[in-house]
């Protein structure tokens, strides 16, 4: 049962495309899966849903299915009949898809209730039209050995494929409640129930942490076995032997309220005023979307008294992941929600940078001994944790070494590909 497959596999990875203006953890995790499997010698075919994949290192290998522009309109206005073909073609024009990509990134499902329920349930006329194209593409190309769905928010796709083409199917569980619980209560209940109804179309579920595995099992006891697959990055790209001369706190995630950038800003101002850590700086990256502009302006205003000590990366790029951590002493993303796993931690650990995070979600499990945890998630408590870590050189050095050890033992591409191959081998 624990044997690892040695032959080359063909894996169809079905992922929701997103815009490229901010750090999307789930999108980046899908990219890491593809990279790790390819490096291990497997063929990975990436199938984008909703929006094109635009990064040079993560592009689709198939046509775009369920294009967001036309599918959204169809779910709004054509629920009893098919959209005229010419109108659909106009909506799917490349420039409209690019515009949709630039505007994407909302964390609220408001206005997308029918689209969300359609992709989870897989029962309506518009879904049937689009999934037929997916199945035709699969049957007219080399049959994959494994189908891997990025999220259970696409579980209706697995249901339809399974009924037509019996291929072992894996589904990652990745912070689905952030989207579903932003729906109105009646729609959220329908969404969770639809996932429950379609669980049996998935042969194996995976989670990116023990924390999220436990959460999934508590919500869906009938789900059976959920295997933990920790994310892993190409750690060699992040390795920097030198640390910054001036102590620097790093924030690298989407700049919004949920990710707690304002908490960190207030903490930084507090630490600068007391001046216990001379030369302290703050580096901010990860990007944001239009809906975050007001929040970002408010954070800038908070930081204004010490803006000369703030390094603010205005634009997000996938390549920035590798260089961001070179110039920081520690990573801190004080989330206001319970996250399955923070990929920024895996990146920071590869660079030998410890973390300071609240005691919430997967942080105790992932950070472990590579940094500091604090409670409650307030600027005062965070300031204390950062002060204690940066003011104790011996403890800080040990945390840096622990971070590197976690990267080398748990969060690298070799460990990731081994975990995925183990999951797949149990289905073949």
Block means of pLDDT (10 residues each) for the chain, 428 residues, are 72 82 77 94 93 73 89 83 82 77 60 90 92 94 94 96 94 92 92 96 96 95 94 90 94 95 98 96 93 95 98 85 93 96 95 97 97 98 98 97 97 96 94
* Distance, CA of 245 to CA of 249 (rounded, Å): 12
**DSSP string of 62-77, one letter each residue:** S--BS-HHHHHHHHHH
**Which of 146, 134, 139, 149 minimizes the C-alpha distance to 198?**
149
What is residue 1's predicted lDDT score, i.e. its pLDDT? 46
pLDDT at 361: 95
Domain spans of the chain? Answer: 10-232+413-425, 235-409
Structure tokens that stand for 304 in this block: 């204004």
In words, the CATH class of domain 10-232+413-425 is: alpha beta
The closest alpha carbon to 187, from 220, 153, 159, belongs to 153
Alpha helix segments (H runs only) across 112-184:
113-121, 125-139, 155-164, 176-180
CATH number of 235-409: 3.40.50.2000
Domains 10-232+413-425 and 235-409 equal at CATH topology level: yes
Cα–Cα–Cα angle for 153, 159, 165, rounded to 5 degrees: 135
pLDDT tens per residue, range 50-59: 888 766 667 7
pLDDT of residue 82: 77
355 closest CA partner among 327, 380, 324, 390: 390
Q: Is 177:154 a contact under the CB 8 Å cutoff? A: no
């Amino acid at each position: 049962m624990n044997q690892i497959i040695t032959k080359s596999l063909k894996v169809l990875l079905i992922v929701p495309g997103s815009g490229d203006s901010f750090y999307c953890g789930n999108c980046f995790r899908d990219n890491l899966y593809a990279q790790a499997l390819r490096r291990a010698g497997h063929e990975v075919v990436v199938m984008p849903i909703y929006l094109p994949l635009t990064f040079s290192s993560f592009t689709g290998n198939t046509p775009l299915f369920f294009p967001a522009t036309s599918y959204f309109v169809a779910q709004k206005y054509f629920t009893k009949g098919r959209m005229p073909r010419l109108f659909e073609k106009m909506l799917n024009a490349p420039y409209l898809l690019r515009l949709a990509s630039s505007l994407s990134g909302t964390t609220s499902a408001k206005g997308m209730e029918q689209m969300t329920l359609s992709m989870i349930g897989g029962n309506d006329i518009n879904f049937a039209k689009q999934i037929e194209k997916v199945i035709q593409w699969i049957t007219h190309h080399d049959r994959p050995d494994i189908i891997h769905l990025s999220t259970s928010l696409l579980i209706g796709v697995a249901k339809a494929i399974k009924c037509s083409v019996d291929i072992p199917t894996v589904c990652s569980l990745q912070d689905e409640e952030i989207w579903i619980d932003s729906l109105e209560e009646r729609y959220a209940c329908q969404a969770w129930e639809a996932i429950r109804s379609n669980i049996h179309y998935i042969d194996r579920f995976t989670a990116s942490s023990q924390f999220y595995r436990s959460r999934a099992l508590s919500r869906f006891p009938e789900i059976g076995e959920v295997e933990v697959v920790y994310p892993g990055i190409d750690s060699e790209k992040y390795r920097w032997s030198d640390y910054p001369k001036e102590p620097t706190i790093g924030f690298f995630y989407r700049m919004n309220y949920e990710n707690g950038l304002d908490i960190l800003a207030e903490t930084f101002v507090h630490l600068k005023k007391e001046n216990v850590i001379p030369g302290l700086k703050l580096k901010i990256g990860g990007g944001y979307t239009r809906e975050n502009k007001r929040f970002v302006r408010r954070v800038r205003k908070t930081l204004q008294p010490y803006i000369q000590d703030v390094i603010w990366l205005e634009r997000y790029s996938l390549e920035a992941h590798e260089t961001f951590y070179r110039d920081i002493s520690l990573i801190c993303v004080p989330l206001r929600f319970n996250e399955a796993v923070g990929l920024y931690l895996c990146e920071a650990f590869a660079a030998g940078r410890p973390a300071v995070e609240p005691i919430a979600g997967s942080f105790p499990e992932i950070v472990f001994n590579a940094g500091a945890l604090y409670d409650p998630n307030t600027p005062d408590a965070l300031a204390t944790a950062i002060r204690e870590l940066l003011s104790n050189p011996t403890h800080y050095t040990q945390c840096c070494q622990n971070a590197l050890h976690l990267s080398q033992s748990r969060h690298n591409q070799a460990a990731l590909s081994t975990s995925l191959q183990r999951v797949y081998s149990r289905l073949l």
